Structure 1
Amino acid sequence: MSAPTFRGVHQRLAQKPPGTPPDFRPGRTLRLRVEFVRQLRRRRTQIAVLVVLALPIIVALAFKLGGTPDQGRDGPTLVDLATTGGSNFALFVEFAATGFLLVVLVALFCGDTVASEASWASLRYLLAIPVPRARLLRQKLTVALALSFGVQLLLPVWALAVGTVFFGGAPAKSPVSGSFTGSESLWRLGIVVVYVCGQSLVVAALAFLLSVSVDNPLGAVGGATLLVVVSNILDQITALDPYRRYLPTHFNYSWLDALNQKVVWDDMMRGTGLALIYAAVFLAIAWLRFERKDITS
């Protein structure tokens, strides 16, 4: 069936006998493919991908121009080992991007998705098609998470390729437990990427909650980013023990335990559980708020 906004569709509907319901299936509205292509064509998506592609090249050139990092007094760190091979370079780029860049990108994709429709005054028209509210949120969130996980996967894969070109394909070296084999290096990098994606669910869910609550995309993106900044600051205050263990960013870097000779899962399991709880609460509030909200923008 043609979309209700196409020319001539309303005239054909008007020709139906009075009382005949329109041939309309709410479950076929706002298809994932259409929304995904629409979001891919947006300028902010293209700029985000360019930033992710440019970052490893800029970092690699910085190491080439600046020379080999000096080893710290307490032993090597990720930055000290970044030039020893592609795997270590990818781990360092992931370490450098986790704290802020990936947070901003996830907040951008998930915080802009509904709020942008409100700012363009097109949200009420989407609901008037009518797209069921729960379906609209589900489709929007699915595409936003796909883009968020996509850039988080693209960054280490591209960094691994760039690092291999600049510094060779040597297996990863751990700052604490020697070297890994080639396959083991990829396995450890995979653990890191999956864990970082899991931790990003907190930012994604909060940004989505703010996106259904405000009409300004900048407010939703900035609010989610501000949460991470404040949480990181509070996490540095050791006097808050043991309460700081419940901060949403306390376990963000627990993936470093994957670089031990034997993977230590304890903190990563705690971090994953905490992230899922925060994400579930934020998304539940977002659904309830949007279902009861009077869309006037």
Structure 2
Amino acid sequence: MANIQSLDPTASPLDYYGWELRRQREAHGLKQGQLGDIIFCTGSLIGQIETTKKVPTRDFSERVDAALGTDGLFSRLIGLVLRSQLPTWFQPYAEMEANAAYISTYQAQLVYGLLQTEEYARAVLSVEGGNVDEMVAARMERQRILQRDQPPALWVILDEAALLREIGGRDVMRDQLAHLLSFAAAPWVKVQILPLAAGQHTGMMGTFTLLRFDADPDLFYKDGYDQGHMTASADVIKERSFGYARLQASALSPEGSVRLITRVMEERYAAPHGTEQR
């Protein structure tokens, strides 16, 4: 475990965050408990973050910036910190995803990470155990690209099986499907459902994503259990782009997809009679 004396700010984004938090706090003449009182947390939490024993949150970072007048320093750092909590093999993709102008993805089993609710993401990530809170926070951080003034265009083809697989229980699934429906009017997000009735299709080899950029070559990405494969091969991009177009043709229209999501939500995940819908 790191301690204040040995903390190396160049070791990782988390180490730099802890080192900088301590430096700024001491520059303002505050003890850990005093800063904790100002931002409504314990001095122990401040100490854990300063020594990298705990990963900070975006809310914590924004409160520190306000308390210390650091002009958004920690709010900017937190993105790097949370991205560093993603699996090492996934981090290159997350960086490319964050810079993409257009994202088109086919998801065979799960809702795409950028469209997951926090509860759904927690249920998915808890299967493997580990630092679930940090992994959930990192996934939620990825979604911030959709809140930009100029977000990437996102086109998601979701297999109907992902609607039917109950992740986290009925309440979690109902909220997740409602979240998908909330994007129905979003100008830069389109969701299509590939119905089970479509039979064989060009996505049967599994989930994949195509990233397009304003000034860089397109990328194809496919992930596995504990690794990801990313390539800019023109032949692969051409083949998968054509395959994706065929998936779009086989899927329900965005409007038809809204109707199917609504029906599944109401029929499969409706709240029990007599209970209040969230």
Alignment TM-score > 0.5, same fold: no
Structure number, greater radius of gyration: 1
Query: TM-score scaled to structure 1, two decimals?
Result: 0.26
Q: Which has more helix, going by share of residues?
A: 1
Structure number with the bigger relative contact order (C-alpha 8 A, sep ≥ 6) is 1
Query: TM-score scaled to structure 2, two decimals?
Result: 0.28
Q: Which has more strand, going by share of residues?
A: 2
